[in-house]
Chain A
């Protein structure tokens, strides 16, 4: 144990001597949080819209009012001539145009249905999806209201748009869990794979292996400091998100910590695996970035929803530990789910951790002989 403590001390010297890297390691998560939180926003604020109202009755008027008073939209113009549509989009004056069909109210009363067309500028697909889904949800709410009214004529219903789990559709809510996964992956896998290959590259690994230190002990010794750092990072990101971005945390902190540790172990095992393959620090870095970080960003559902991907990529995403971790984190943080709902994902993640640990220790043994 004393010998092991001695080894950890050496690792701590390595890390603290290189204080610039340490600073980067600790600051990057915070910077990323602010970048994702403030710069990359996908929620709407006063998006400009145009309306073509061919009906001009009380219902279309009410819907228009609802949309404008929602705070997400700002009415740029009532358009009379359809030929203007293209022009307005090309200028970028509006993000969306809403067209009510003629005799909207009448059709609704007689046939029970009337249609409204939403046209969005899909050159920015994210915003297009957002504006249309906001608008349709406002209209749907109004429709519900109408239905209620027809049963109980005198009740006043306060319009309420409710988006489950992310009521304000704040993108930062979606980013924080992804960011935690990304940071844990970055620090645990990338940093450990680099730290281990550095010993190999310098030749000091040989000297360590000739000493009475057990190979497992060398690896654990190299890994422990990074577990501590990545754990600290995920906690600081979480704390900042709660304090600054007021992200809700509905679930259990203990479960959160447990699942984070599980994910850290998986990431570390991957890092060790990479270090057994890579011959140099540079190679370790390239493999970590290309093989771990890219998939974590692209395929985990962190930024792009997995459901919209081609089937092949969806299958591929099942192999990404971060995908499952993300489901778990969102479940805990935004929905307040407990282990009884997340056991399946937890089981998958545990399986992955065990699998990668087994493979990497096996590879490690082969290499050391």
Chain B
């Protein structure tokens, strides 16, 4: 992490829905090649923030650039430089593994030749060569998530946004999943990942903790733990959340 080039820059980014402020003037930077953990409880505003960064939602105020492009008017360029894995969706259930791969590779403009190579490579890596023509719905959830992640970065984006990628997956598969993330983070690829599993926060280079629409803490897991005098990230998180409740 000796690289200081910033690939995501956010300052005072705010999103209101009517009178409700979902994201309240957040500011942070993400450096190239970093695994950036974006933590927070459910409803803290993580998904709203991520949607503004990937161009699904326009901000109410504030500034943000992703891969050097402005989120207000350059979302087309942003879309080409990022990969996105949503929490709700993994892959099309009624399509086969190979069809899903070639569909996603196709909509990102890869050529047939590239698609074939990528598909072979990917299936080999995930040990799914024999299931190539099986429907996604026959796969266990953990495999789907791993495949969905690999598909989300099939076009080699410089930044990958992962929204709760490991939701509902068992601990062993989560560990395997994080190995994939580490692998993907090589070659300077930036990973922006949201999660509410605090043990996963330990795997990140830096984490931000969001409480009620604001970023309450941002540092490396080790620094945070010493600052809040806690043994685990879970304790750090509980302290922050409690502090906020007391304030109210």
Interface residues of A (CB under 8 A from B): 2-3, 6-7, 9-10, 13-14, 17-18, 202-204, 206-213, 368-369
**B residues at A contact (CB < 8 Å):** 54-58, 76, 79-80, 82, 84-89, 92, 94-95, 99, 102-104, 106-109, 135
Contact A203 B89 (CB under 8 A): yes
Residue of A nearest to B83 (CB): A210
Partner of B107, one of A13, A202, A211: A211
C-alpha gap A232/B173 in the complex (Å)? 47
Residue from A10, A203, A206 within 8 A of B103 (CB atoms): A10
CB-contact partner of A212 in B56, B88, B95, B107, under 8 A: B107
Q: Which residues of B contact A7 (CB under 8 A)?
A: 103, 106-107
**Interface contact B106-A2, CB-CB below 8 Å:** yes
Taking the closest CB of chain A, its distance from the CB of B76, in whole angstroms, is: 7
Complex Cα distance A6/B84, Å? 19
Contact B57 A6 (CB under 8 A): no
A residues in contact with B85, CB < 8 Å = 207
By beta carbon, the residue of chain A nearest B51 is A206
**Are B92 and A213 closer than 8 Å at their CB atoms?**
no
A210 x B79 contact (CB < 8 A): yes
Contacts of B76 in A (CB 8 A): 212
What CA separation (Å) do A368 and B75 show in the bound complex? Answer: 13
Shortest CB distance B135–A (Å): 8
26 A–B contacts from the bound complex (CB under 8 Å)? A3-B106, A6-B102, A6-B107, A7-B103, A9-B106, A10-B95, A10-B99, A13-B94, A14-B92, A14-B94, A17-B94, A17-B95, A203-B87, A206-B89, A207-B84, A208-B107, A210-B54, A210-B55, A210-B56, A210-B84, A211-B107, A212-B80, A212-B107, A212-B108, A212-B109, A213-B107
Cβ 8 A contact of B86, one of A3, A17, A203, A369: A203
Q: Which of B85, B89, B94, B102 neighbours the largest number of chain A CB atoms within 10 Å of its CB?
A: B89
- A335 to chain B minimum Cβ distance, whole angstroms, is 46
A355 to chain B, nearest CB (A): 27
Partner of A210, one of B82, B94, B106: B82
Q: How many CB-defined contacts (below 8 Å) exist between A and B? A: 67
CB distance from A137 to the nearest CB of B (A): 57
Expressed in whole angstroms, the minimum distance between the Cβ of A18 and any Cβ of chain B is 7
Q: Which residues of chain B are near A17, meaning CB under 8 Å?
A: 94-95, 135
Return chain B residues, CB-CB under 8 Å to A213: 107
Tell me, in angstroms, the Cα distance from A357 to B85 when the chains sit together: 31
Shortest distance from the beta carbon of A212 to any chain B beta carbon, whole Å: 5
B88 and A6 form a contact (CB under 8 A): no
Give the CA-CA distance A210 to B78 in the complex, in Å.
9
| Structural contact, B106 and A206, CB atoms closer than 8 A | no
A10 touches B92 (CB 8 A): yes
Instruction: State whether A206 and B86 are in contact (beta carbons under 8 Å apart), knowing that A212-B80, A369-B57, A369-B58 are contacts in the complex.
Output: yes
- By the criterion CB–CB under 8 Å, are A13 and B99 in contact? yes
B108 touches A211 (CB 8 A): yes
For residue A201, give the distance in angstroms from its CB to the closest CB of chain B.
9
Complex Cα gap A207–B82 (Å): 11
**Contact between A202 and B106, CB atoms less than 8 A apart:** no
Q: How far is the CB of B9 from chain A (nearest CB, A)?
A: 20
In the assembled complex, the Cα of A159 lies from the Cα of B89 at a distance in Å of 73
Tell me the smallest distance from the CB of A127 to a CB of chain B, in Å.
49
Q: Judging by beta carbons under 8 Å apart, are B107 and A206 in contact?
A: no
In the complex, the chain B residue whose C-beta lies closest to that of A6 is: B106
CB of B152 to closest CB in A, whole Å: 8
- With the chains together, A9 CA to B103 CA distance in Å? 8
Chain A residues within 8 Å of B84, by CB: 206-207, 210
Chain A residues with CB under 8 Å of B106's CB are 2-3, 6-7, 9
Say which residue of A13, A203, A208 sits within 8 Å of B88 (CB atoms). A203
Query: Which residues of the other chain, B, contact A13 by a CB distance below 8 angstroms?
Result: 94-95, 99
Closest to A208 in B: B107
Chain A nearest Cβ from B24, distance in angstroms? 20
Q: How far is the CA of A253 from the CA of B107 in the complex (A)?
A: 38
Evaluate contact between A18 and B86: CB separation under 8 angstroms.
no
Please, which residue of chain B has its CB at the minimum distance from the CB of A369? B58
CA distance in complex: A207, B94 (Å): 17
Task: Decide yes or no: A202 and B88 within 8 Å by CB, A3-B109, A7-B107, A14-B94 being known contacts.
Answer: yes
| A207 B56 Cβ-Cβ under 8 A | no
Contact A6 B94 (CB under 8 A): no
Specify which chain A residues have a CB less than 8 angstroms from the CB of B56 in the assembled complex.
Answer: 206, 209-210, 368
Measured CB to CB, the nearest residue on chain A to B111 is A2
**Complex contacts, A369 vs chain B, CB 8 Å:** 57-58
Bound-state Cα–Cα, A134 to B85, Å: 69
A202's nearest neighbour on chain B, judged by CB, is: B89
Whole-angstrom CA separation of A203 from B51 in the bound complex: 13
Closest chain-B Cβ to A217's Cβ sits at a distance in Å of 9
Closest chain B residue to A368, Cβ basis: B56
Interface pair A207/B58, CB less than 8 Å apart: no
Q: Which of A206, A210, A211, A213 has the most CB of B within 10 A?
A: A210
Please indicate the chain A residues that have their CB under 8 angstroms from the CB of B79 in the complex. Answer: 210-212
* Complex Cα spacing A212 to B55, Å: 11
Q: Report the bound CA distance from A290 to B174 in whole Å.
A: 46
Q: Which residue of A lies closest to B109 (CB)?
A: A3
Do A207 and B92 touch (CB < 8 A)? no
New contact pairs (13) apart from A3-B107, A206-B84, CB-CB < 8 Å: A2-B106, A2-B109, A6-B106, A9-B106, A10-B92, A17-B135, A203-B87, A204-B89, A208-B107, A210-B54, A210-B84, A212-B76, A368-B56
Q: A42 to chain B: closest CB distance in Å?
A: 43
